[in-house]
Amino acid sequence: MGFNLLTEPWLPAVRLDGARQEISLVQALRDAASYRRLVGSSPTMTAALHRLLLALAHRVYQPLDAARWAQLWQAKADGGLPGAELAAYQEKWLSRFDLFDPDMPFFQCPALDNTPGSTAKLVAGWATGSNRTLFDHTTSDQRPVLPPAQAARWLVTVQAYDTSGTKQPYRKERTAEGGLGNRFGCVLVEGGSLHETLLLNMQRYQPDDELPARTTGRDRPVWEADQPPEPEPDARTPLGWTDLLTWPSRRILLSTTTASGIPQVDGVVLTPSSGIPQVDGVVLTPSSGIPQVDGVVLTPSSGIPQVDGVVLTPGTRLEGDLLEWEAMAAYRRPWLRGGKQGEFRAVTLDELRGVWRHSQELLLSSDKRWWNSWRATRYAKGPLPAQEPDRRRPAALDHIAELVEDGYIPEDTVYTLRIFGQRLGDQGGDTYAWYEEAVPAPVALMRADSARIGRILGYAVSLANDLGEQLKLMERQYAADFHRQLSKEQEKKSSELEILYWPQLAQPFATFLRELGHALLNGTSETEPAERWGQAVSELADKTAWQWLQGAPRRDRSLLTASAHFDDFQLARHKLQRIFRGGLARYSAPPQEDT
């Protein structure tokens, strides 16, 4: 017996009423308007499952042009995406979605003949080999058995987010790069339902016309390949968008057991109480006529295979620059010393500093008119720049801006950007942290046609960054006065003040973004929301500094020294506020350079 992902429930979904449910791929498309979103057991799983579903949606409903997109968008009134195309696709490709097909198992390499290892290799967070974790104590001789639904979820996740380093070799090659998802923060535009989310993130997909860019007529997701992958690792460029969404960074083969005859919990028997039953030491008082738990029924398993091992070896390495292909990421060229810009880098998530700091790259147009010709930097004298580097936002936002023009989306809509990421350990062989953050995405900001908006956002982020640096400086200089030199490892770690300061900024910045979008939409002052943000971040920095000053008992010289550094911080804080207000005043009215 197999387990077909098109028809069997395995995707973890949240319904509109908040209830959780596992659904099949067909349900996820056909009834998409009934679900809020997919939510995996880790942010990386959530991102990987959405990307898989997007790949399927592109293939089912192609060619996807503007008219076709509008038809699919309006189909939410019927509960989900049209069923005719879905049924035709299911009939053609059904066998390719069988997790245990002997010839073409889903997302796997059946030619692997290595001895299967523990399923802990598949599940992030389980200890295996040198991949030590704090809370899990799985050992190499243990072989946890996974239900097929759980194994399928982790199979998809590992292909996108596996760690780098030494892997079980197929023959010789042992090392592998981490999955592509480790290189960027995956940006998902979230609508009011899974139906809206899918459509908002779908690109114009016409492979025969090479849309989206660099997609060829040979593009296909991994399950549509003519043959399963060879077990030897390789390297190539993507065939197109759905090939990238289902990139096979690993060669994987699941091993199974039917667990025939092993009892499984199948139900319970309720009988009227007679006396006082004991259940694990808990006393249940008799209650006439009210059923009490009196036992359980154990039945043999139904024969559905369970995953009891996995072979995981290096897979396909991406040739070329991810910038040329990945459309669910934001990119920026950071400022360097001397007013120069570095190479494009994908926006990633940070352990402490929120991804809202990259709102320019996430939200604003990538048009060259946004480029800031004022080349002053924090290393030069004078005011700080508005941080307007070259950038490229996720492709979905360009699409949304066009849809507003066509009247499909109201301009006052505010979506949510959900950004998912994973940070690997220093050697890349283990997972340091998972991240999921949300940033408000007013459509008015996506369509902003004034360079002032980018510079106002730049000044807003600069103020938060510079106040954070001053807090860190206050703490470090105080320690230096008492000859407390920090080691390199300590320098890398977040300071006490950073931990107190940065997490408090996400909510006020979200309010600032919404108010800025509202001002754009209604033609009111764009600097007033920025001034309120400036006041909020300054007060938070001041509160944090006070907490530091009063947080530890000090006396004599230590108290005087701490007070002196606190006073220095206050002077710096007021100076940064003046710079911020001056920058806002500079762009408070449409300047000549905007034309």
Q: Which of 335-339, 362-366, 514-518 has the highest mean pLDDT?
A: 514-518
Split at pLDDT 50, 70, 90, the class of 429 is: confident
pLDDT at 139 over 80: no
Residue the block writes with tokens 């990386």: 44
The token pair at 512 is 């600032």
Residue the block writes with tokens 């977040």: 494
**Strand pairing partners for 256?**
307
pLDDT of residue 380: 39
pLDDT at 274 over 50: no
The token pair at 396 is 């979905």
Q: Which stretch of 192-206, 224-238, 370-384, 500-514 has the lowest confidence by average pLDDT?
A: 370-384
The whole-angstrom separation of Cα 511 and Cα 7 is: 42
pLDDT per position as a tens digit, 90-128: 999 999 999 999 999 999 999 999 899 999 999 986 655
pLDDT per position as a tens digit, 355-370: 999 999 999 988 754 4
Q: Which residue has the higher pLDDT, 152 or 451?
A: 152
Please state the φ and ψ torsions of residue 264, each to the nearest 5 degrees.
Answer: -125, 145
Split at pLDDT 50, 70, 90, the class of 556 is: confident
Q: What percent of the chain has pLDDT over 70?
A: 82
Helix (H, G, I), strand (E, B) or coil at 309: strand
The mean pLDDT value of the chain amounts to 85
Q: What is the DSSP string of 389-445?
A: --EE--HHHHHHHHHHHTTSS-TT-EEEEEEEEEEE-TTSSSEEEEEEEEEEEEHHH
Closest CA to 189 of 328, 364, 43, 41: 328
Split at pLDDT 50, 70, 90, the class of 594 is: very low
- E strand or H helix that includes residue 316: strand 316-318
The whole-angstrom separation of Cα 347 and Cα 356 is: 11
pLDDT of residue 390: 81
Q: Which stretch of 35-39, 287-291, 500-504, 542-546 has the lowest confidence by average pLDDT?
A: 287-291
pLDDT per position as a tens digit, 472-497: 999 888 888 876 666 666 666 677 88
Mean pLDDT calculated for residue range 222-226: 97
Q: Which residue has the higher pLDDT, 366 or 203?
A: 203
The whole-angstrom separation of Cα 532 and Cα 498 is: 22
Split at pLDDT 50, 70, 90, the class of 450 is: confident
Q: Which stretch of 50-59, 492-501, 516-525 has the lowest confidence by average pLDDT?
A: 492-501
- Provide the 10 A C-beta neighbour count for residue 214: 17
Helix (H, G, I), strand (E, B) or coil at 533: helix
Q: What percent of the chain has pLDDT over 90?
A: 62
Helix (H, G, I), strand (E, B) or coil at 299: strand
Cα–Cα separations (whole angstroms), residue 263 to 249, 302, 303, 364, 376: 37, 10, 12, 57, 71
pLDDT per position as a tens digit, 71-90: 999 998 888 999 999 999 99
Mean pLDDT calculated for residue range 562-582: 93
The token pair at 331 is 């990119």
Q: Which residues of 12-48 are buried (b: 16+ CB within 10 A; e: fewer)?
A: bbebeeeeeeebbbbbbbbbbbbbbbbebebbbbbbb
Split at pLDDT 50, 70, 90, the class of 216 is: very high
pLDDT of residue 266: 39
The whole-angstrom separation of Cα 448 and Cα 378 is: 26
pLDDT of residue 335: 75
Mean pLDDT calculated for residue range 348-360: 93
Helix (H, G, I), strand (E, B) or coil at 336: coil
**Strand pairing partners for 434?**
422
pLDDT per position as a tens digit, 376-407: 334 334 444 445 668 899 999 999 998 998 88
pLDDT of residue 167: 84
Crossing angle (nearest 10°) for helices 395-405 and 194-201: 100
